[in-house]
Structure 1
């Protein structure tokens, strides 16, 4: 299954996977590349790739992702392409490596690629990497290391800049196109069907609809292979003086609890979140069946789509207090559920759909796709033109057997939002 450069490529989804794929196909000489997206506004305001900011790290337990992240960081530093999207603040990985196997392997892989690592075995050592004016929590009885080769990226800005580049290169990007399923002939995908009844023809369809992939293409019955899950995020608005004081702190990343936090952005907003198994949101079928987990966002639920579970608002404040006690006394300025598509093993799903030469899946970012925005499309392009390493074909195959679990996440059972109490304005207060 190999696409030709003159083939009509239709990419469904203008987020991280989709827009990067378009860019890399055009760079290889593909001449007919179109990206469509359900959102009337691009980048889509409720997409994970349009979040406030994203961690850029090489600290992975899998050496493949470590090296690819290193390649991505090198690309992020091209200011002509990305402007000030990437900020190399450093990433502070907190927690005992003896107790957190993922962090231990991440450290080994960082060291193996020659990352600029500083071991921080004591509380005083950890404190030394923060600006003098920042009040810190205990950091007692923990060790850490600082990887200076990493930081964070302005999420929406990165997608917007790559989208502009795709258009400049001759690609087409169309907003407000709501796809409801696939058009097939003799068992092969030949396009997509839209809500208005229109069919868009294509030689190859790339399903890259992020956390809407499983619900958009329900006929594929993707199940847990591409499961939509929501992650809880909160923000705090700092004053200009506070923003200046905290500006040079590193990313904080605790693999044992899943808590992570950013320096303030240009608007003096700090974001924090918990990287965990997340929450599902099933839409009940007309026949009363369970249905497919589908994002609950500001687009589908208005302002209610921004609410996170009350339990996670409390958890975020507790974790914040242990790191920055001064900031824990400030109200949250906002919350958001950030929706991922997860695979059982945490590896991406990138590949031709079995026995269908007209359909490629590029999804299941599993909470770690955005940092690869400059390069992830090259993996999908390798798949499309048949040049992907066979080992990676197997690693990312749609129908692979998952033999491992994703150890990067906090070990909590996945829950459904239907059983949760959402935060109220009072829950945003200290």
Structure 2
């Protein structure tokens, strides 16, 4: 279906997928683009795209994502286009003997990244500041260093993208709770809001991330858009400690899934694990089965920030392996970061098979943010029917789900047990 540039387009969700799509629609000449978000404060404090930082790396087993990440990095580096959110610290990849990392390294080399293998402990130490003591794991696992990567200040990047959308004439409206879609003869005509109002549109784009399946239960997306919570912890450093670690690279271990950032300007060090995560199953009267629904500070106050105490223990053990000195410090905060996971970790970017006025753009699967400058281009390609056929199949909402995510192989999804969440005592070393 050919879309007209003057059509009214409504994007539900002002996170990475939604705001990037709005930007690329406007740069392609679409003139009536509105982004709605449930949060009264934007960027939404409990959205995955609003964490303090996100890894920007091109270490991908799938060469499509590796190439696209390289394209995104080249844009992140253009401060006049994307501000100062990106920090090129480099990325040290551990677990280089895993199937995933072996292929990722070859992809990065073939794509021309500034990569070098760290073949002995002296080479490893050279990748870190001289005053930083690194752990014994670097003697046990093969690793490599890619200078073409680092991290982005997540909320800052989203806020900058929002400003670009507004500068191009787009609207970004906070505090709109969506209840569902309005339809005529099975075709979407807009959205129905919690306050009883309806908002009409010629095209609705659902980019609601981890809230997709629970907000639109009639679409039966619970398995393909699974809300999975990931445990995140931070450490607050003093000024001297922060200066010692500030020039560190991002460290990403594909063996354990553990990753850790250098300190932010506020001297905060964040760490987490890329694993199967946790589901919070809630029964919905409009769905055939329980739907995993984010449990966040927005819905549960301070309790929505707590993570399983078992994860706190594992994260400290992983930290001990990387930076032993930091493992002696208390964790200063915790957070459940909710991803939208597809079973194969490929995104969903598709026009609904039976509804040409509905587009789904989600399932970032924990690796969407780094593509903020380019992600919306793919969505608009699909809307304008210019996306390559192979990519249409890759991102189809109803694609066969054959392959598994090798970056999280063997790390099963668990049910969140609210009785097993951490206490203040669990955060102590």
TM-score if structure 2 supplies the norm length? Answer: 0.98
Alpha-carbon distance between aligned partners in 2 of 1:203 and 1:325, rounded to the nearest angstrom: 56
Aligned twin of 2:404? 405
Counterpart in the other structure of 2:345: 346
- Which stretch shows the higher mean deviation, 44-53 or 1-10? 1-10
Partner residue, 2:326: 327
How far the C-alpha of 1:422 sits from its partner, in A, is 0.3
Distance 1:429 1:91, change over 3 A: same
Mapped contact 1:3–1:386 kept (Cα < 8 A) = no
**Who is 2:37 aligned against?**
37
1:197 to partner: Cα distance: 1.0
Residues 189 and 286 of structure 1: is their aligned pair in 2 closer, same or farther, counting only changes over 3 Å? closer
The answer to whether the Cα contact below 8 Å between 1:192 and 1:201 also exists between their aligned partners in 2 is: yes
Q: CA deviation at 1:420?
A: 5.6
311-320 vs 286-295, which moves further? 286-295
Deviation per residue, 1:203-237 (Å, 9 max, x gap):
11000001001111111011211000000100000
SS in 2 for 1:225: coil
SS at match of 1:263: coil
Q: Distance in 2 between matches of 1:31 and 1:37?
A: 20
For residues 154 and 317 of structure 1, what CA distance do their matches in structure 2 show?
23
**CA displacement, residues 145-167 of structure 1 (integer Å, 9 cap, x when unaligned):** 00110000000000000101101
**Structure 1: distance between partners of 2:37 and 2:81:** 23
* Displacement after TM superposition at 1:290 (Å): 4.7
1:96 is displaced (CA, Å) by: 3.6
Q: Distance in 1 between matches of 2:5 and 2:289?
A: 41
1:247 corresponds to 2:246: yes
Structural mapping, 1:282-293, within 5 Å: 282-285=281-284, 290-293=289-292
Task: Work out the CA distance in 2 between the residues paired with 1:187 and 1:14.
Answer: 26
What secondary structure is seen at the aligned counterpart in 2 of 1:149? coil
Q: Which residue of 2 aligns with 1:131?
A: 129
2:289 aligned with 1:295: no
Q: Which moved more, 1:370-379 or 1:277-286?
A: 277-286
Over 3 Å counting, the alpha-carbon distance change for 1:63 and 1:25 in structure 2 is same
Give CA deviations for 1:374-398 in whole Å, capped at 9, x if unaligned: 0000000111111111111110000
- Gap runs ≥5 in structure 1: none
Aligned pair count reads 428
Number of the residue aligned with 1:93 = 93
* Structure 1 residue matching 2:158: 3-state secondary structure: helix
1:422 aligned residue: 421
Structure 1 residue 297 displacement after superposition: 0.2
For the residue of structure 1 that corresponds to 2:355, the secondary structure is coil
**Aligned counterparts, 1:205-284, within 5 A:** 205-284=204-283
Deviation (angstroms), 1:118: 1.1
Aligned pair in 2 of structure 1 residues 250, 288: CA closer, same or farther (>3 Å)? closer
C-alpha distance in 1 between matches for 2:381 and 2:264 = 35
Matches of 1:378 and 1:289 in 2, distance apart? 34
Question: 2 CA distance for matches of 1:274 and 1:353?
Answer: 33
TM-score (norm 1): 0.98
Tell me if structure 2 keeps the 8 A contact 1:191–1:204. yes
State the superposition RMSD in angstroms: 1.3
